Amino acid sequence: MAQLIEHPCVQHKLAIIRDEETGHKRFRELATEITQFICYEALKNLPTIEVKVTTPVAEATCRKIDTKLVVVPILRAGVGMLDGILELVPTARVGFVGLYRDEETKKPVTYYERLPPQVRGGTCIVIDPMLATGGSTSAALDILKNNGASDIVVVCIVTCPEGVEFVETRHPDVKIYAAAIDDRLNEKKYIVPGLGDAGDRLYGTSH
C-alpha cells in the first residue's frame, strides 16, 4: 500500500488545493509546498556517507547523500511539482517522460523521453500530482527500468486504491508516497474526490 503522509501541515494544504475556488497561482504554490513535505519523507532512507568537515571551531563528522538523484516528472502536470523537490535537493538531475492517456483505450501513450545517464545506479523520483489508473505511472517506471534504473520511488499528491494496486502489481519494488488515498475512480477514470484535472488547474487552462 502507498505510504500516506498525514502530517497536519500536509493535510491542511491538501484541503486548500482540493477547493474548486483555489486559483492556478495558489494551486501551483500549494503543489510545491505539498511536494516538499512528501519528498522529505520519501527521501529519508537515502544512502549517506560519513565525511569530515572543518567548522570555524573544530573538525566535525557529518553525513552527505551518497547517491545521484534524478527527478522525473511525468509531463505535463508533473512539472508542477518539480520546484518543490529541487528546493530540497538542488543538485538533482532532471529527466522527462511525456505520456498522455488515449481517450478511447484509456491507456498511456509515450510521446517524449529524455533521461540523464545517472538513472542507472542512481535514485529516481517519479513525480505526478495524480496517480489515477496507474497506467502512466507504470509506463514511466517501465521506461526508467528499461534505461537501467533500479532504485525508484513515486511521489504524488493524490492517488486511489485502483491506481496503487495497478502499480504495485507491476512494480512491487517501487514505493509510493502520497498526501491522500482517495475513494475510487469514476467512470471517466478521474479520482474521486480528487483535485480535478491537475494540469489544467496548475496552468490555468481549464474553461
Active site residue ranges: 101, 105, 197, 200
Cell digits of residue 60: 566535525
> What are the CA-CA distances from residue 188 to residues 23, 80, 191, 201 (Å)?
23, 23, 9, 18
CA–CA separation, 157 and 200 (whole Å) = 15
Contact present, 68 and 118 (Cβ < 8 Å): yes
- Assess whether the previous peptide bond of 76 is cis (omega < 30° from 0): yes
Helices 161-170 and 135-146: crossing angle, nearest 10°?
20
Give Cβ neighbours of residue 58 (< 8 Å, ≥ 6 apart). Answer: none
Amino acid at 171: H
Is beta strand 69-75 parallel, antiparallel or unpaired with respect to 96-101? parallel
Distance set, CA 130 to CA 78, 155, 160 (Å): 9, 9, 9
